[in-house]
Amino acid sequence: MPAMLRDGSLVRAMKENSILRAVREGRAALGTGLKEFASRGVPWIIEASGFDYCMIDHEHGAFDLETIADLAGWFQATNVSAIVRIHKSFTYLIPAILDQGIMGIQVSEVDSVDEARAIVREAKYPPIGNRGISGQGMHTGYRSYGARHATEYAPWANANIVVCVSIESLEGLENVEAIAATEGIDMIAYGHSDLSARLGVHLQLEHPTFKAAVRRIAEACNAHGKLARGSAETEAQIEEYWRLGCRVLNLPGTDVSTYLDGLKARAGRAHARLKSIGVEVP
């Protein structure tokens, strides 16, 4: 349930993370990604399309902190929670990103328990981590909790800000059970391109070796009460990964591939019609 927070006589309900809400309601939390477009209408379009969360790509995209802050504010006007993907070498950015009102952090290429603990220290408030306290900001709705921060805001943030690590190497896969057991880690994902490449079966997502790796990650999460995020590249994988226990499903592509595929389809239909009446087409 959302925590009830007080600001003088005003009682304000903080929004529940939409990933956690979907899982609580027995649904799959469906996610998409942004790496190119950052306009105020994008969060509304994503919501209208039926997604539960959006991953803003800092690792491979060109979004700076100010752009991430703008997106965080625009997503707050919807029921879609925004998370940000960073590489582990940028772990120091986690507090600043979360203070913009981002509802989760996904850290790529996590290989060990020590790396997982370092992420938790930056992302969770005491007693779980050591996230620095900032008062009035987007993350608190520009309300200062003062001495009540530790009893009102911090527990809500620790429960609702999703900390996700991504397994992308053989070392990370070997340590996934211990990583899943780490306090403060809420979800484990995997980089399907990088992990399959390290396994020697790059993008052969139906290969038994890759499928065994996904199963191992899901089983580690299920054993330790953590969310497993499957990257479902086909409709069959949506069902397969759900049955493995992946309650969070990242669907194929990002804004780039979605826009490109849509434009190609429209242009293709136009070219086909023009060709049918004898008009030259590319």
* pLDDT score of 10: 27
Assigned architecture for domain 10-251: Alpha-Beta Barrel (3.20)
The string of pLDDT tens digits covering residues 46-90 is 999 999 999 999 999 999 999 999 999 999 999 999 999 999 999
CA 73 – CA 255 distance, rounded (Å): 19
The string of pLDDT tens digits covering residues 186-224 is 999 999 999 999 999 999 999 999 999 999 999 999 999
Lowest mean pLDDT among 16-25, 35-44, 139-148, 228-237: 139-148
* pLDDT score of 263: 97
Let me know the angle formed at the C-alpha of 162 by 189 and 64, rounded to the nearest 5 degrees: 85
Domain boundaries, the chain: 10-251
Percent of the chain whose predicted confidence (pLDDT) is above 70: 95
More confident residue, 215 or 141: 215
User: What's the residue count for the chain?
Assistant: 282
* pLDDT score of 190: 98
Let me know the angle formed at the C-alpha of 95 by 142 and 174, rounded to the nearest 5 degrees: 145
The answer to whether 98 touches 161, Cβ cutoff 8 Å, is yes
Provide the whole-model pTM: 0.93
